Amino acid sequence: MPILTSSAAGLRKKFWRAFVLQIALISVTVILGIYATRYVLGDILLERALQDEAEFFWQHYREDPDFPGPDTRNLTGYLGDRDSIPDIMQDLGPGFHHISRPGSELYIIYVSEHGNERLYLEFDGENVGKLALIFGVVPLSLLLIVIYLSSWLLYKSSQRAISPVIRLAQNVTRFDPKKGDDYSFSHDLGISDLDQEVLVLSNALDELLSRINRFVERERNFTRDASHELRSPVTVIKIAADLIEMDESLSASTRQYLDRIKRSARDMEGLIEALLLLARESDDKLETTPVCLNDLVDEEIERARILFGDKDISFRKHEHTRLIINAPDRVLQVMIGNLLRNACCYTDSGVITITIGGSSIEIEDTGEGIHEEHVREVFKAFNRGGSNKRGGHGVGLTIVKMLSQRFNWPVHIDSTPGVGTRVKVSFPGSRNSPLNR
């Protein structure tokens, strides 16, 4: 849920960053435009104007040698053979020159040759800046103000447009599945000013929530009914076993089998309870107690011997410590039992080694192993690691993965075809106690 909060806040930030970036780009563009205007006015247009002025003078000078040179407020002309030329221009060659006179006044000098005569045109460069200001800076500044205002209005309009989306995200963030079935994501959105898209999205979320609530209710009904229907035959088995046990004529071997039936019935009852509780969303009813993994492993090894008594399999148990885990005992039983049975299932003859140490347990077999391309698929339902010759339905490791994710018990599998498979389960938060020697 915090992700939604940061996303809603990030939407505003993204619009604000986009607005600031737009203003920055506009400002840079305007500044470059001003410099471009200054360059066009000062260099290109002015130089062209001075060239035209020189051609105009030479054209009339050929017709009338007494034709006066240019003499205006900003432009002064000097003819080399009849006028006094300022000292600063004496050594200038043909072409354009930018010079400064005392007082930091900038002048643009254009020297034009016609035969053996030279024309010096002097333009007051200080006025170029004024012209750039009048014809460049002022219009661009007005344009900049208009763009700034339009961008600000667009930003505010965009904020109003995304406000329903942000409010919808906030409603999703505040949603608590425990509130019941009457929650609505459209609540407090201001339906009157919603865009069609936001309205469709909010209605879709409400419909999705309604469907989820129906699924949850269906799951609750199923777990309630399944709990009753599955427990009834187990109860019958337990009662029947108790009645049979009262028969004093039973042989010792028969009583041994009867004890196994009663123990299996109790295990089945606990297993049903654990699986049904796991099917529910809440863990409130799962009783957590300190469980010694070493003792649990002994019990599961005994069950595996009974189930796979027809195979030439031996069990080796290496204990470095007593591993105590705070967890529902039936859940641990399901997890370890599935791993052991899976190792037995894929081992026709050989050794299954169980190592308990630190905060983990390792179960290693000498079975057929799993190819690398199938290792990543073993936790999927109905997958048998690439082998279709083995029993089972391919859901044991799926249950193990579900429990691993539910209780944060990481599971890691290493396997080599023809050598065997090693499964390691870690139990963060577990504790150790000394072995009883």
Three-state DSSP string of 176-235:
CHHHCCCCCCCCCCCHHHCCHHHHHHHHHHHHHHHHHHHHHHHHHHHHHHHHHHHHHHHH
Is position 161 within any domain?
no
What is the distance of C-alpha 118 from the center of its chain?
75
pLDDT value of position 384:
55
The 10s digit of each residue's pLDDT in 216-235 is 777 777 776 766 677 778 88
Is position 405 within any domain?
yes
- Examine the domain organization and report whether 273 and 325 are in the same domain: no
Is position 166 within any domain?
no
The 10s digit of each residue's pLDDT in 240-282 is 888 888 888 888 888 888 887 887 787 677 667 666 766 665 5
CA distance 357 to 340: 17
pLDDT value of position 176:
67
With H, G, I as helix, E, B as strand and everything else as coil, classify residue 290: strand
Strand order through the sheet with 360-364: 312-319, 349-357, 360-364, 420-426, 411-416
Q: Who contacts 211 (Cβ-Cβ below 8 Å, separation ≥6)?
A: none
Query: Which residues lie across from 64 on neighbouring strands?
Result: none
- Examine the domain organization and report whether 49 and 139 are in the same domain: yes
pLDDT value of position 64:
82
pLDDT band at 315 (very low <50, low <70, confident <90, very high): very high
Last residue of a domain, one of 131, 149, 167: 149
| Mean pLDDT, residues 329-335 | 85
pLDDT band at 363 (very low <50, low <70, confident <90, very high): very high
Q: Is the pLDDT of residue 72 over 80?
A: no
What is the distance of C-alpha 129 from the center of its chain?
54
Q: What are phi and psi of 305, to 5 degrees?
A: -60, -40
CA distance 60 to 70: 12
CA distance 354 to 61: 115
CA distance 377 to 135: 73
Q: Is the pLDDT of residue 5 over 50?
A: no
The CA angle 264-268-269, to the nearest 5 degrees, is: 120
Q: Is the pLDDT of residue 404 over 50?
A: yes
137 or 389, which is more confident: 137
- Examine the domain organization and report whether 204 and 340 are in the same domain: no
Q: Cβ(349)–Cβ(312) under 8 Å?
A: yes
Percentage of residues of the chain with pLDDT beyond 70: 73
Q: Are strands 431-433 and 322-327 parallel, antiparallel or unpaired?
A: antiparallel
The 10s digit of each residue's pLDDT in 168-191 is 777 777 666 665 556 666 655 654
Give the CATH number of the domain where residue 231 resides: 1.10.287
- Examine the domain organization and report whether 280 and 343 are in the same domain: no
- Examine the domain organization and report whether 83 and 55 are in the same domain: yes
- Can you list the alpha helix ranges (DSSP code H) found in 246-292? 252-278
- Examine the domain organization and report whether 41 and 75 are in the same domain: yes
- Examine the domain organization and report whether 210 and 265 are in the same domain: yes
pLDDT value of position 354:
94
Number of domains comprising the chain: 3
Q: Which of 148-162, 290-304, 331-345 has the lowest mean pLDDT?
A: 148-162
| Amino acid in position 301 | I
Question: What DSSP letter does each residue of 159-175 carry, written as one string?
Answer: HHHHHHHHHHHHHHHH-
Q: What are phi and psi of 380, to 5 degrees?
A: -80, 150
pLDDT band at 393 (very low <50, low <70, confident <90, very high): very low
With H, G, I as helix, E, B as strand and everything else as coil, classify residue 356: strand
Q: Who contacts 42 (Cβ-Cβ below 8 Å, separation ≥6)?
A: 108, 125, 128, 132
Q: Cβ(321)–Cβ(432) under 8 Å?
A: yes
- Examine the domain organization and report whether 271 and 305 are in the same domain: no
CA distance 153 to 207: 36
The CA angle 219-224-225, to the nearest 5 degrees, is: 100
Is position 197 within any domain?
yes
- Examine the domain organization and report whether 361 and 385 are in the same domain: yes
Q: Who contacts 422 (Cβ-Cβ below 8 Å, separation ≥6)?
A: 362, 363, 364, 365, 413, 414, 415
- Examine the domain organization and report whether 302 and 382 are in the same domain: yes
Is position 266 within any domain?
yes
CB atoms within 10 A of CB 233: 11
- Examine the domain organization and report whether 296 and 429 are in the same domain: yes
Question: What DSSP letter does each residue of 37-106 carry, written as one string?
Answer: HHHIIIIIIHHHHHHHHHHHHHHHHHH-TTPPPPB-SSEEEEETTTSPPPGGGTT--SEEEEEEETTTEE
pLDDT band at 298 (very low <50, low <70, confident <90, very high): very high
pLDDT band at 200 (very low <50, low <70, confident <90, very high): confident
pLDDT band at 133 (very low <50, low <70, confident <90, very high): low
CA distance 364 to 339: 10
Domain, as residue range, for 187:
175-286
- Examine the domain organization and report whether 184 and 221 are in the same domain: yes
Q: Who contacts 7 (Cβ-Cβ below 8 Å, separation ≥6)?
A: 169
pLDDT band at 317 (very low <50, low <70, confident <90, very high): very high
pLDDT value of position 1:
38
Q: Which of 107-111, 197-201, 330-334 has the lowest mean pLDDT?
A: 197-201
Question: What DSSP letter does each residue of 308-353 carry, written as one string?
Answer: TTTSEEEEEEEESSEEEEEE-HHHHHHHHHHHHHHHHHT-SEEEEE
The CA angle 402-313-433, to the nearest 5 degrees, is: 60
